[in-house]
């Protein structure tokens, strides 16, 4: 595996927003706080088929790059879509279904309820939609199939047929929009509304 990395480029960027030994700003922690990240990690780890991804040590590449150590996290076998991006969109679908099925059923539902497939008839009547260049839409489509709802993905004219097929293979209806990514976002919003 290390042979593919013949040259190395070293970059260092300072994170000027880093707050040492402090909490992140409220506006950020409301959507990306540690409590929410821990909840998401705990839930995703409970999904059938979950396994930690392997971390490969790239010793000779690290030496040639002049760094102490270098690791490669191999996401290729993570769930069906095989990418870390497969997690966020699918988790968002699960959260949205929890909220909407809870509203429709009048019950306070947990993520475990959605994972277990409670209220399949309600889930089947819900459609999630998003615009994408490919990876995010694939995650949403996979999550919709996993949790039993309908999915519509909007793509712009430059998205490859392969990416469209990958989303359709998970059961999504893929709608190509003439224009760019922003046009597909506007069309997704308009149709969803």
Catalytic residues: 85, 133
Q: Measured at the alpha carbon of residue 54, what is the angle toward residues 45 and 135, in degrees to the nearest 5?
A: 70
Quote the CA–CA distance of 103 and 157 in Å, as a whole number: 36
What's CA 173's distance to the chain center, in Å? 18
Contacts of 14 (CB under 8 A, 6+ apart): none
Quote the CA–CA distance of 20 and 81 in Å, as a whole number: 36
Quote the CA–CA distance of 151 and 173 in Å, as a whole number: 6
């Amino acid at each position: 595996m290390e042979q593919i990395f013949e040259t190395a480029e070293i970059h260092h960027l300072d994170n000027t927003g880093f707050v040492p030994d402090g909490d992140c700003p409220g506006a950020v922690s409301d959507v990306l706080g540690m409590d929410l990240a821990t909840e998401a990690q705990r839930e995703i780890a409970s999904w059938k088929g979950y396994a930690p991804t392997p971390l490969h040590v790239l010793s000779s590449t690290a030496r040639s790059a002049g760094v102490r150590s270098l690791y490669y996290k191999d996401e290729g076998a993570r769930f069906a879509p095989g990418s870390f991006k497969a997690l966020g969109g699918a988790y968002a679908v699960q959260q949205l279904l929890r909220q909407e099925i809870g509203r429709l059923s009048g019950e306070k539902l947990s993520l475990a309820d959605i994972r277990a497939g409670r209220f399949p008839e309600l889930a089947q009547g819900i459609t999630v939609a998003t615009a994408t260049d490919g990876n995010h839409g694939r995650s949403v489509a996979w999550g919709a199939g996993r949790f039993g709802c309908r999915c519509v993905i909007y793509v712009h004219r430059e998205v490859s047929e392969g990416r469209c097929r990958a989303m359709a293979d998970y059961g999504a209806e893929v709608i190509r929009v003439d224009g760019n990514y922003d046009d597909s976002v506007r069309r997704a919003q308009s149709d969803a509304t």
